[in-house]
Structure 1
Amino acid sequence: MKLRAHYFLLAFCIVIPVAICCSIALNMLRNAERESAIQRIHESARLTALVVDADIDRAKAVLQVLANSQALAHGDRKRFHQEALAANAGPGAWIILYDKTGQQLINTRHPFGRPLPRRPDPEQVAALLANGKVNVSGMRWGAELNNNFVMVERAIESPSGERYVIGQAFSPAFFTHAFSNSAIPSTWLVGIFDANGVYIARRYEAEKFVGKAVPPHVLAAFNSAPNGNLPSKTAKGARLYNVFTHSALSSWTIAIGAPVKELDDAVWNGIGVVAIGLLIAILGALTLTMMTGRRLVAFIRRASDAARSLGRGDTVATLPPSIIDELDELNVAIMDASRRLQSEMRSRADAESDRNTLLVLEKNARAKAEQQNSAKDEFLAMLGHELRNPLSAVTSAVSILESGRPLRDEIVQRTHGVLRRQTDHLRKLVDDLLEVNRALMGKLILDKAPADLAAVTQRCVETLQASGRTDGFELRVSTEPAPVLADTTRLLQVIDNILDNAIKYSPAGGRIEVTVRSADGHAELQVRDSGLGINPELLPSVFDVFVQGAQTLQRAQGGLGIGLSLVRRLVGMHEGSVTIASAGAGQGCIVTVRLPLLASRALPAPEAPAAMAAPGRRVLLIEDNEDARDMMAMLLELRSCIVYTAENGPDGIALALARQPEIALIDIGLGEMDGYAVARALKANPLTARIVLVALTGYGTGADRRRAFDAGFDQHCTKPIKPDELDAILA
């Protein structure tokens, strides 16, 4: 028997069983299609309910957010009206705020300020205020609206303690989006009903049905189960598959009705298509069998010819494609070598491209590392320059005082002035380095209290004027009360850094304008100068650490380039903002600091004048550095104090027991026994427990202060101590 006869026999044995199985499958398919259509209606109802629940859930979230509005807490209803308008669900929806009597206070359907009516059911407001729950209402009639509407409403309590009822209202047209843009066929009816069976929205003839109730038996069916089927007929007698389900967030019902004829037609159409497809498949199978047999026979003949050609060593052309995979593998084997070669070439090209990319990345990384290394070297050189300058002046001043020659009073005063200015400069450099490091590491702690930005600014200006820093400049100061909640010490740092830059970068005779005012709920400090200005390319990075404008070798302006970075950190910690604007080099610049204005606008009480130091205090000084101990002892003796000194903890404790001082200044970093241990020992002994203990140390973080107070210290001062700080301790 030939190969073709075998193919026909095989086709006949396959077609007969397939025909029998297909008839059984068609019947099963008809039933499955009908069940699938009904399930599709169920799924459409469920998805529509999810859309409605999403609208309700969003309304709840919006009401919760508006309940925490600072505008409502501060009684700023106009601003709250704008917030509610922005949070509104969209066209066909509006937000209403009621007081406890039911009077409308806010209604986003109307412009702010328009007279609003009182709610006709104030008892509902009282009920909401009593239970505090979220209520999703049924259909209501709005006399002013002249239409039906529904609401999602709840009782809220503002941060100021006032209680209100706030609601998101929806017109019936709003919920049409739940099915207008969905995949529900246009011939299906969709309805949304409240707990009483009243239409909230309907897909077709909404104006005829919305606001009307369904028959009692329909409502009973709705209430009998979470979901189900409810066969019915249209007004024209057409039968409907009705499927209903309930909203999970309300007592609403969503019902979808699909024409029975449409579903049955779809089922039979599908079965017909499948039947025709099966018939075509059978005929196609027979045809394909014949064609495949012919192709296979022809391919085998060509393969035999190719085998003979290979045996003779001739070039074999690619065999024509076949519909059988095994036969096509012959062609694949022939073309595989060519594809391998092309793949190898592409791999080499990709490897070359990757190598070039890595070279570029390595070059960029090396350039960045060199730039960072250069910035580090430049900063270290700048730090050395900034430290050596005051140290050189201090060394020269000390040499003059130690010369042993009689000096005129004028020279002595000038020398003292140099020492005072340069030590202040050194202290400021060290403070700036420490402060910016703490700020970058997030270790700064603010001690906030009500303060007047205008008074703090005036205080900083007066300090600069008293030191002579503003001599030779045209300084204009204009302030008005601006209460803020701030750490006054940190605020002084911010203002001092900004004014210091304005003075530093302004030429002699330049104009500096300082303004403090209240604007848009913020206290605003603005410093405008007519100095060097800032180049546009430097302006975006002016707040970065160690960034400065170009300077000559003389570094006339000085500084470490960390002041503005510290300013931004401190202002940010006060929940404020700082900006710098400049028209360019030589055009001066404007620095603006904005801090949240205190809601109460209450100004802090003026500071009490510093107490004068009391003479004749008995002071114990425990310090292991001989020079520091001698100088501090001299300062105390100049203030008429009786001073006892010790260079370590045990000697200091013995002196305290023997001399009974009033005050003890104790260094923390002592050798044998640190200052914390000394303080604990003094406080533990009843004979020395009443001594006022003052930590005098170079450790100045908030954690250091807390540790000192935990050890028993009464005060904590960082070195070098200022004269007025020492006077305050003695007083």
Structure 2
Amino acid sequence: MKLRAHYFLLAFCIVIPVAICCFIALNMLSHAQRDSAIQRINESARLTAMVIDADIERATAVLKVLGRSQSLGAGSLERFHADASAANAGPGAWIILYDLNGQQLVNTRHPFGRSLPKRHDPVQINALLASGKANVSGIRWGNELKNNFVMVERAITAPSGERYIIGQAFSPKFFSHAFAGSAIPASWLIGIFDTNGVFIARRYDDEKYVGKKVSPKALATFNATASGSLPSTTPEGTPLYNAFTHSRLSGWTIAIGAPASELDAAVWNGIGVVAIGLLIAILGALTLTMMTGRRLVAFIRRASDAARSLGRGDTVATLPPSIIDELDELNVAIMDASRRLQSEMRSRADAESDRNTLLVLEKSARAKAEQQNDAKDEFLAMLGHELRNPLSAVTSAVSILESGRPLGDDVVKRTHGVLRRQTDHLRKLVDDLLEVNRALMGKLTLEKMPTDLAEAMQRSVDTLQAGGRTEGFEVRVSTEPTQVLADPTRLLQVIDNILDNAIKYSPAGGLIEVSVRTHDGQAELQVRDAGLGIDAELLPSVFDVFVQGAQTLQRAQGGLGIGLSLVRRLVGLHEGSVTIASAGTGQGCVVTVRLPLLDGGAGMAPGSAAAVVASGRRVLLIEDNVDAREMMAMLLELRGCVVDSAESGPAGIALALAQQPEIALIDIGLEQMDGYAVARALRAEPRTASIVLVALTGYGSEADRQRAFDAGFDHHCTKPIKLEELDAILA
């Protein structure tokens, strides 16, 4: 069997069950629409009953109000006639007042004073008097009226104590408003029957039907249930769908009949639309099946030819596109197979090339790892060398001072100079290590303020000159006021490291040029030296941590290779840039730092004023290390201070209470009671709350500083404390 026959068979297998299901669905739809129409009739009957109940409720309320009127209490029937006429329900309705004998006293259908008839149903009057409730009558014939009417009536007691019967009468015409005001279609019939099945009102031909009784079968159906439906036929032979319900207050039956042809026509119209849609869908499915089958057969023929060509290794021509996604995917797969077959050798060559590239990268990565491992080992060796050299000098200087031999002033001075230089060198090594570690971990914080870059450069140069670091060098300084937003302390670290490298790698007598200026909208700091220079291979990695140029075993330049790395980190935190250039080994180098200029020309940063040390200060020193405590006490006494020392927190607090010092230098790392607890205790005592508290610690992070300030310290100083910092605090 060919593919096309399979397609037609598939189409019929789909269409026939669909048609059967649609037939069932149409049948269900017809029943549903018919039920919906009957439900609509029921709803219309219920709404009509509600309108009639509303009229009865209004009539009952009006009768009750009129029974309490002052005109009736005063016995003025003429005034009562006027009140009743004003409260009447409208055209087709009137109000009647009877005495206990059934004599009409007031009838709003007639002018007041006219002679009125007497009713002859004493049983109904006695029933009304006995019940005291309103009663809704069935249809009655009025001899005087010469027409049918219904009555809502009740017994009342006037304010004067007199008893009456009062009623609201309605003619059949009155109920026409319940028909006219509704949204019930004009072709539908509406009828109102009393409890005996007698017509009270009808929508059309009411004169013909009012007063007549329905068939016993219909009356039995009305009385059997509160609401329902029943088919019927008009005298003209028109079939009707009828629905009925009962008035809640009167018990009357409200029936509505809709022509069966009208409802059936709506049902068949809907079914016809659905049937036409189904037919169109079936024809469309068959047409689409035929078109798709034709395209599919043609495509499969072309695909078979392409597969044969592919098997022979020939070039496959591109197949024309189809309207079916799966066929297009097959087309793509065939073309992709052709391309793969023809490019396999090229792919193999590319794979070989990739493997070679990966091998080269692996060798490069291994070499880099080995280089980093060697750099680590070299750094540890450098660290040992850099620490042992100053320690050796310090040990020798101490041995000289402890020799017991008479020493000349020159020897003592030189020995002190050695101690000062080497301890400063050790402190700088430790500070650089801690700073670069914090920088690498991203824990450095800046306290920026308006700062003159030229002033900061000059301060750094002055400090180096005061320390003797520039002896034997020619230093030329050229600056102009240049305002930047920077952390002055970090800025001095940058300048000190750059100048220290320039001095370290320049020969004795060499020239070092320093300049600060504004260039291209930025602040530019430049240090140029005529020293050893930098090899071209080292230049790209000179800012990496622990990187140094090759040195001899003597390590005349020293250092750990972390200065320039720290410089780059600090400059980056200031949103600036740093570059280093060198023409080669032996030709010196130029370091250039560029920082953003301060917007708006902000004022100068406050310069460092010379600290004025006041003699006679009483200082409390709390330190548990004996050597550190003795040396710091001697240093303070040399500055004219009166010093009290304690080796623990409790002893220090007792001394503070006894001596009332102005300043307290407190080690944080005390054993029994740490420095934070001591500070909090001193702040809590009124006699010591005003002491200036200075924290001495080896921990210098921003978190450590904040913790000290939270504990009550005024200053936070890292060990060893700088003399200028100590002098500033004492001043």
Q: Normalising by structure 2, what TM-score?
A: 0.52
Contact persistence 2:450–2:605 (CA under 8 A): no
After TM superposition, the structure 1 = structure 2 runs for residues 405-424 of structure 1, keeping only pairs within 5 Å, are: 405-424=405-424
Give the aligned length.
Answer: 414
Contact 2:579-2:592 at 8 Å conserved across structures: yes
Give a deviation string over 1:531-582, Cα, whole Å, max 9, x none: 1111111111111100001111111110010000100011011111001111
Where does residue 372 of structure 1 map in the other structure?
372
Aligned AA (2:464): L
Q: Which residue of structure 2 lines up, in the alignment, with residue 395 of structure 1?
A: 395
Correspondence list, 1:33-182, <5 A: none
Aligned residue identity for 2:504? K
* Pairwise CA distance, 1:601: 2.3
CA contact (8 A) 2:451 2:483 kept: yes
Equivalent residue letter for 1:413: K
Q: Could you give the per-residue CA deviations for residues 608-662 of structure 1, whole angstroms, max 9, x where no partner exists?
A: 6323211111111110100000101111111222211111111111111122111
Q: What residue in structure 2 maps to residue 672 of structure 1? A: 672
Task: Report if the CA contact (8 A) 1:482-1:601 is conserved.
Answer: no
2:655: which partner in 1?
Answer: 655
**Map of 1:199 onto structure 2:** none
Q: Secondary structure at the match of 1:721?
A: coil
Is 1:490 aligned to 2:467, yes or no? Answer: no
Shift of 1:730: 1.6
Q: Are 2:576 and 2:595, in contact at CA under 8 Å, matched by a contact in 1?
A: yes
Code of the aligned partner of 1:553: L
Task: Report the counterpart of residue 683 of structure 2 in structure 1.
Answer: 683
Secondary structure of 2:707's counterpart equals helix
- Is 1:505 paired with 2:505? yes
2:525 counterpart letter in structure 1: L
Aligned to 2:592: 592
Q: Give the CA deviation at 1:725.
A: 1.9
Q: Does 1:544 align with 2:544?
A: yes
Residue 523 of structure 1 corresponds to: 523
Q: Please show how residues 264-343 of structure 1 align to structure 2 within 5 Å.
A: 278=291, 281=294
Q: CA deviation at 1:457?
A: 0.7
Structure 2 counterpart of 1:598, which letter? Answer: L
Corresponding residue number in structure 2 for 1:614: 614
Deviations 1:178-201 (A, max 9, x none): xxxxxxxxxxxxxxxxxxxxxxxx
2:380 alignment partner AA: L
Would the aligned equivalents of 1:15 and 1:282 in 2 still touch at CA under 8 Å?
no
Change (3 A) 1:679 1:359: same
Work out the CA distance in 2 between the residues paired with 1:13 and 1:467.
Answer: 104
Matches of 2:421 and 2:385 in 1, distance apart?
Answer: 17
Q: 1:479 maps to what in 2?
A: 479
Gaps of 5+ in 1: 1-6, 23-270, 292-348
CA contact (8 A) 1:478 1:515 kept: yes
Give the 5 Å matches for 1:635-650. Answer: 635-650=635-650
Which residue of structure 2 aligns with residue 727 of structure 1? 727
Tell me the distance in 2 between the aligned counterparts of 1:356 and 1:659. Answer: 80
Amino acid at match of 2:471: D
- Measured in 2, the distance between the counterparts of 1:669 and 1:283 equals 89
What is the rounded CA distance, in whole Å, between the counterparts of 1:415 and 1:393 in structure 2?
9
TM superposition shift of 1:373: 2.7
The 3-state SS of whatever aligns with 2:599 is coil
Instruction: For 1:500 and 1:668, locate their aligned partners in 2 and report how far apart those are by CA, in whole Å.
Output: 32
In the alignment, the residues of structure 2 paired with residue 416 and residue 654 of structure 1 have an alpha-carbon distance, to the nearest angstrom, of 36
The amino acid across from 2:390 in the alignment is P
Partner residue in 2 for 1:429: 429
Cα offset for 1:455? 1.1
1:17 offset after TM fit, Å? 9.7
Paired residue for 2:718? 718
**d(CA) in 2 for partners of 1:284, 1:577:** 71
Structure 2 equivalent of residue 533 of structure 1: 533
| Alignment check: 8 A CA contact 1:449 1:487 kept | yes
Map 1:535-574 → 2, pairs under 5 A: 535-574=535-574
Seen in structure 2, the aligned counterparts of structure 1 residues 471 and 281 have a Cα distance that, compared at 3 Å, is same
User: What is the deviation of 1:471?
Assistant: 2.1
Do the aligned partners of residues 408 and 21 (structure 1) sit closer, same or farther apart at CA in structure 2, a change above 3 Å counting? closer
Cα separation, 2, equivalents of 1:676 and 1:662: 18
Distance 1:417 1:440 in 2: 34
Moved more, 356-365 or 652-661: 356-365
- SS for the counterpart of 1:600 is helix
SS at match of 1:462: helix
Q: Percent identity, aligned pairs only?
A: 78
3-state DSSP class of the match of 2:587?
coil
TM-score (structure 1 length as normaliser): 0.52
Structure 1 position 370, deviation (Å): 3.7
* Cα pair 2:4 2:293 within 8 Å, conserved: no
Take 2:609 and 2:634, find their aligned partners in 1: how far apart are those partners?
26
> Residues of 1 paired with 2:662 and 2:538: CA distance?
55
Distance in 1, Cα, partners of 2:292 & 2:425? 100
Offset at residue 423 of structure 1 (A): 0.5
Change (3 A) 1:367 1:721: same
Report how far residue 278 of structure 1 moved: 4.9
What root-mean-square deviation, in Å, do the aligned CA atoms of Structure 1 and Structure 2 show? 3.6
One-letter identity of the residue aligned with 1:714: D
How has the CA–CA distance of structure 1 residues 665 and 359 changed in structure 2, closer, same or farther, with 3 Å as cutoff?
same
Secondary structure of the 1:499 match is helix
Structure 2 CA distance for partners of 1:373 and 1:614, relative to 1, 3 Å: same
> Quick one: distance in 1 between partners of 2:669 and 2:296?
101
Extract unaligned runs of 5+ from structure 2.
16-283, 305-348
User: How far does the alpha carbon of each residue in 1:672-704 deviate from its partner, in whole angstroms, 9 at most, with x for none?
Assistant: 110000000010011211111111111111111
CA offsets, 1:88-121, max 9 Å, x none?
xxxxxxxxxxxxxxxxxxxxxxxxxxxxxxxxxx
Note if contact 1:507-1:531 (Cα within 8 Å) is conserved in structure 2. Answer: yes
Q: 1:550 to 1:276 in 2, by over 3 A?
A: same
> Cα 1:351–1:13, aligned 2, differ >3 Å: closer, same or farther?
closer
Rg comparison, structure with higher value = 2
C-alpha distance in 2 between matches for 1:351 and 1:276: 48
